[in-house]
Chains A and B, each alone.
Chain A
Amino acid sequence: MQPLTETTLKPSSLTLEQVKQLERISRREELGRNWYKFSRNPISVVGLLVVLTVVLLAVFAPYIAPYPAHAGPFTDFANAKKPPSPTYWLGTDQIGRDILSRILFGMRSSLLMGVVVLSLVVPPGVLLGLLAGYYHNTWIDTLIMRVTDIFLAVPPLILALAVASVLEPNLWNSMMAVSLMWWPWYTRLVYGLATALRNEYFVIAAEVTGASTAHILFREIFPNTVSPILTKMSLDIAWVIIIGSMLSFVGLGVQPPEPSLGTMIADGAKYLPDQWWIAVFPALAIVVIVLGFNLLGDGIRDMFASEEA
């Protein structure tokens, strides 16, 4: 078969199948180009590596951690508050548990929190934003956006804390609490994009050819909002992890003996400055995770931003 390129074909002679094939080619090319741009920036690549490392460490924590049992209800008062040593690389905590092992397991709940919250938040947030933006200046827009404004009226952390405080404190409820307060940010982001996109020719063209509303929302408007959404997601995951750590810091998140970075820092803070390692290493772990996601997010943003250059 003759190779299918954009120059060998005249637009008028294209069949639907060929159009789709062309779209696939250009999409693959775009993906390659984006990856090329992304990989040219060493900082984004470092971010990606940090994130990958953290994810791998968290996933394989049970096999990597030197003392997996220390992630549970375990006490060894003889070895409590030991400084870093070859036996305990990062020292032990106030009841003799290996801090390295607990950090590895703690990263699991941090990452789980980030992933679960975003997957709960993004679909409804985006859907509402698409609806409100497409039905701009109708009652649907008014209703959705006014409710969104109310949720945006206070910083999300404080409402999340309030919800978490009335629920049973545990990891799942803290995820629920944060999710409940996070969707409006996506609604507002997508709303702004969708109100602009609804006047674009390709949307109007779809309307006059009688495409269904669902088609217009998801096949015409939505694909054009993906890059800002992805950028926001990669930066937000870091935020969710920080907020999760704050919830567990105050005791409204993961409950002991289950390890979480926030709880470890809160407990360790009581032993400052003499047993500094109890608080400092979990804190470092959070900083590294958040740094990784931020670098990655910036890389993704630059990759999409330099499109025109």
Chain B
Amino acid sequence: MVSSPTPLLEIRDLAVNFAVYGGELRVLDGVNFRMFAGERVGLVGETGCGKTTMMKAILRVLPTPPARIPRGEILFKGKDILKMKERELRSVRGTGISMIFQDPTAALNPVFTIGAQMHAVIQSQAQNNHRSIDRRKIWQLAVSALKDVALADPERLLKSYPIQLSGGMRQRVCIAMALSTNPEILIADEPGTSLDVTIQDQILRLLRDLVEKRNMSVILITHTLGVVRELTNRVYVMYAGSIVETAETTKIFSQPLHPYTRGLIATVPRLTGGGIASGIPGRIPDYRNPPIGCRFHPRCPHVMEICKQQKPPLIEVEPNHSVACFLYSPTPKVEL
């Protein structure tokens, strides 16, 4: 693994709130995250734990309002994205980091052709990098981007509207758009979840091949642990707006530490072993009044008094393996 002293992307204590009727949802509550060039990181957690919000925050595409970022830093190659002006931000978007959105149907503008949308992306990329480009070249790039994702008849596709494509084709188009910018980091938000299983499988395999061929850094969001095991070399586990554990992928599966991670891995059906595990009782908390202290404590089988009062910090308990849980806290437990 290529590892350099400054991380490619680092998130420090990021919080995101959403204004809703009569209050605020504290969806992200101090996220810490770090990745180096060449890493393929998996981000796992239940639906609604804030994975997508975190990724949209990185690219600053959360709708504001209702979203608000009260604190935190997002450093791309050491520079804080949250403090960038529009010009600088645009040079990070696409070329630096690009994103495949979760729902390809929602991510494509229904009243423009695929060609018009890809045209805008390719042309903007050239402008942002101060290159000049003509219409023919843009068209060629769009065609080759569609070919790269194994779509047949790209010329006709470019003239089509999203509604004329199947779900799988839309997903491939979204991948093609995100890759057409040649990003250093590719964020893939649950690719293929909206599709049926065989197509989802094809999409994931396609994505893996493309990533390997181009040697990109990847953040893969998913709640399917099998996908994580196959495609990533490091995992971040998220629960209710914070990272609760991170380690190399093999380590997470062989030696999960956080009670939540253990529960998560226990839910994976195994071919050997006795039947399907029971999973974790309870559900993600209400973000309007999240539990005080560790947000997992109401569901945790090992809950202690301190968990109800303090939020556990993310602490490296062994090299490359961090966990946010008082069970592993090196500091002596404070009796209150």
Contacts and interface: CB of A to CB of B under 8 A. Distances in A.
Q: Would A and B touch once assembled, by the CB under 8 A criterion?
A: yes
Interface of A: 37, 40, 306, 309
B286 to A, nearest CB: 14
Contacts of B20: 309
Contacts of B22: 40
Nearest to B66: A309
5 contacts: A37-B21, A40-B22, A306-B21, A309-B20, A309-B21
Interface of B: 20-22
B268 to A, nearest CB: 34
B199 to A, nearest CB: 30
Contacts of A40: 22
Nearest to B21: A309
A309 B22 CA distance: 9
Contacts of A306: 21
**Consensus secondary structure, chain B interface:** loop
Contacts of B21: 37, 306, 309
A309 to B, nearest CB: 4
B66 to A, nearest CB: 10
B96 to A, nearest CB: 35
Considering the complex of A and B, which 5 residue pairs feature the smallest CB-CB distances, nearest first? A309-B21, A306-B21, A309-B20, A37-B21, A40-B22
A112 to B, nearest CB: 38
A37 B20 CA distance: 13
Contacts of A309: 20-21
Contacts of A37: 21
A30 to B, nearest CB: 15
B5 to A, nearest CB: 46
A309 B18 CA distance: 12
A33 to B, nearest CB: 11
Nearest to A37: B21
B319 to A, nearest CB: 46
B288 to A, nearest CB: 11
A306 B19 CA distance: 13
A37 B21 CA distance: 9
B18 to A, nearest CB: 11
Nearest to A306: B21
A41 to B, nearest CB: 11
A306 B22 CA distance: 11
A126 B20 CA distance: 34
A37 B22 CA distance: 9
A309 B20 CA distance: 7
A40 B21 CA distance: 11
B90 to A, nearest CB: 33
A309 B23 CA distance: 10
A273 to B, nearest CB: 47
A40 B23 CA distance: 13
A39 to B, nearest CB: 13
B65 to A, nearest CB: 13
A306 B21 CA distance: 8
A306 B66 CA distance: 15
A306 B20 CA distance: 10
A182 B22 CA distance: 38
